[in-house]
Amino acid sequence: MKLWKHSLLRIALTCIVIGLVGNLILYFLNASPFNVEEINENKSFNNDINNIQINTAMDDIRIERVSGNTITLSRLGSQSVQYTDRLELTTSVDNGTLYISVEELKKHRFTISARYNVALTLSVPDKIFDSITVTTITGDIHLNNIRSNDIALNSNTGHIHASDTYSRINNIRTITGDINLDGNLMSLKLYSTTGKIAIKLAELAGTFKWIPLLEI
């Protein structure tokens, strides 16, 4: 019995040592999840945009209203170097629509302790947009003081927050994330499975519809 326990202990210690040595080698090769790089990307666009579409996997998304006549984008944060060649920010403007995406160029292999903390902020002037659509997988979505005729927000596990935001038509969908609304959102369709929903509205007209995802 004692021999068996000692054998297990030796095996466990050997695995720990191998893991530490392996991570140390990867670190010096700049390939460890503990090797982190800073993200700092900035772009600007003319104010002739009426529609916004954002599609990312893990970025937190924030859209805020600011003074001025220019739409600006900033993407800030840090990530493990494993993501360097796998994710790329792309933007384009077509027929009055601004398209923003963080595309996955290569499928990411599972990496223990890989770090990703990146936020994409879009600052827009004081105007009423025709539509705003934001889709993420794990990222949170924040809207602050935004005006749009149509808003669609989608996140699988991220939280969704909209404050002081006006829109006639709103489709807000999440699976496990929470939904927090505070503003003049007039017609609501909320989709959630397990997330909490908190609503504080100055105006509510039209329809209010909450549908658990399991019923869709």
pLDDT for the residue 142 = 96
The contacts of residue 150 (CB under 8 Å, 6+ apart) are 130, 131, 132, 167, 168, 169, 170
pLDDT tens profile 80-125: 877 777 788 999 999 999 999 998 766 655 555 677 889 999 999 9
What mean pLDDT comes out for the span 24-36? 54
β pairing state of 160-163 and 167-174: unpaired
* Cα angle 42-46-50, degrees, rounded to a multiple of 5: 110
Percent of the chain with pLDDT over 70: 71
The letter for the amino acid at 147 is: R
The letter for the amino acid at 38 is: E
Rounded to the nearest 10°, the torsion over CA 38, 72, 124, 120 is -20
pLDDT for the residue 214 = 43
Q: Which of 32-46, 110-124, 155-169, 190-204 has the lowest mean pLDDT?
A: 190-204
Decide if pLDDT at 34 tops 80.
no
Segments making up each domain of the chain, as ranges: 1-30, 36-210
Strand partners for 45: 71
- 10 Å Cβ neighbour count for 64? 14
pLDDT tens profile 184-210: 667 778 887 887 887 776 555 544 555
pTM score of the predicted model: 0.76
The contacts of residue 170 (CB under 8 Å, 6+ apart) are 150, 151, 152, 153, 185, 186, 187, 188, 189
Cα separation, 102 vs 118, in Å, equals: 11
* 193 token code pair: 């499975």
> From the DSSP assignment, how many helices (H) and strands (E) are in the chain?
1, 16
pLDDT band for position 168 (cuts 50, 70, 90): confident
pLDDT tens profile 57-78: 889 999 999 988 899 999 999 8
Residue with tokens 């002037």: 125
